[in-house]
Amino acid sequence: MGRQFFVGGNFKMNGTIKSIKDIVENLNKADLDPNTEVVIAPPALYLLLVREHLPKGIEVAAQNVFDRPNGAFTGEISVEQLKDSGITWTILGHSERRVILQEDDQFVASKTKAAIDGGLGVILCCGESLEQREAGKTIEVVTRQLKAVADKVKDWSKIVIAYEPIWAIGTGKVATTEQAQEVHAAIRAWLKAEVSSEAAEKTRILYGGSVTEKNCGDLAKQPDIDGFLVGGASLKPAFVDIINARRT
């Protein structure tokens, strides 16, 4: 069996009760590819609202989770609280948190371990800046970010990797199909060498970075691209077209 196609929608800090209900209603009515796993990540305030209105076939992710079970950690959410609310996934390591909130590789790895140990699925983000790409350091940066997790986590069965070149997020710039496939193939080779052959074969690697209904078809045909983590386009009706990118 091949790897199941996976499409995540990261709403980031966008949406209101009305607009998010509209997005959910559109997904409920849409003819979605049954062979694609779909997970959407609204702002934390709306996690329960989304879970209550989505059908069971679509899962809900938090955009972050803390690495401690409970306590005096103002503003944070624990793994157990997410599970208690029917939230089964979390996004970790997104470049916006790495860059803006200064989350380093070790902290991302610690949160990933807490999430996996607690039974959540993790969409683990990695990616390089434009300067790092131009310096030829893309693979070095991405594998360094992944190695921090591999040092703490041995079971990768609940991890989906999202390769997101920072220079392509929200900019309208997209890595060429060849650029994306090249990095995805390198990540898979790293998994085989550093984790296991099974992890390399089974771990899904998503592309994120200005994915739209216009470019998703070509990207979806690549052998090592197993889906997408979608930002702005997940707020639009065209998100359905991206979910159906592998449909023939």
Which CATH number is 203's domain given? 3.20.20.70
Which residues face 92 on adjacent strands?
124
Q: Report if residue 227 sits inside a domain.
A: yes
User: Is residue 120 situated within a structural domain?
Assistant: yes
Query: Which pLDDT belongs to residue 170?
Result: 76
pTM: 0.97
* 248 in any annotated domain: no
Catalytic residue among 37, 94, 96, 184: 94
Report whether 222 contacts 180 (CB < 8 A): yes
Cα separation of 217 and 181, whole Å? 13
Q: What does the pLDDT read at residue 214?
A: 93
**Residue of 37, 103, 164, 213 marked catalytic:** 164
Model pLDDT for residues 31-76, shown as the tens digit of each residue = 999 999 999 999 999 999 999 999 889 999 999 999 999 999 999 9
State pLDDT tens for residues 210-231: 899 999 999 999 999 999 999 9
Identify whether the C-beta of residue 56 lies closer than 8 Å to the C-beta of residue 24: no
Q: So what's the pLDDT on residue 157?
A: 97
Tens-digit pLDDT profile for residues 134-188: 999 999 999 999 999 999 999 999 999 999 999 887 777 778 899 999 999 999 9
- The pLDDT value recorded for residue 209 is 86
Q: What is the pLDDT of residue 169?
A: 79
Q: Tell me the three state secondary structure of residue 42.
A: coil
164 is an active site residue: yes
Strand 205-207 to 159-163 pairing: parallel
Residue 113 lies in a domain: yes
42-47: which pairs have CB atoms within 8 A and are 24 or more residues apart?
42/11, 42/15, 43/11, 43/12, 43/13, 43/14, 43/15, 44/77, 46/15, 46/17, 46/20, 47/82, 47/85, 47/87
How many structural domains is the chain composed of? 1
- Give catalytic status of residue 184 as yes or no: no
CA 218 to chain centroid, in Å, comes to 19
- Give the list of residues 6+ apart from residue 11 with CB closer than 8 angstroms, or none: 20, 23, 40, 41, 42, 43, 63, 234, 235
What is the band of 1 on the pLDDT scale with cuts at 50, 70, 90? low
pLDDT of residue 128: 96
- 198-226 CB burial, b ≥16 within 10 A, e <16: ebbebbbbbbbbbbbbebbeebbebebbb
Note the pLDDT tens digit of each residue in 84-132: 999 999 999 999 999 999 999 999 999 999 999 999 999 999 999 989 9
- The pLDDT of 4-8, averaged and rounded, is 98
Paired residues of 39 in beta bridges: 8, 59
State the pLDDT confidence band at 248, using cuts at 50, 70 and 90.
low
Q: Do strands 227-230 and 159-163 pair parallel, antiparallel, or not at all (unpaired)?
A: unpaired
Assigned domain for 181 exists: yes
- The Cα diameter of the chain in Å comes to 51
Q: Tell me the residue range of the domain where 31 lies.
A: 5-243
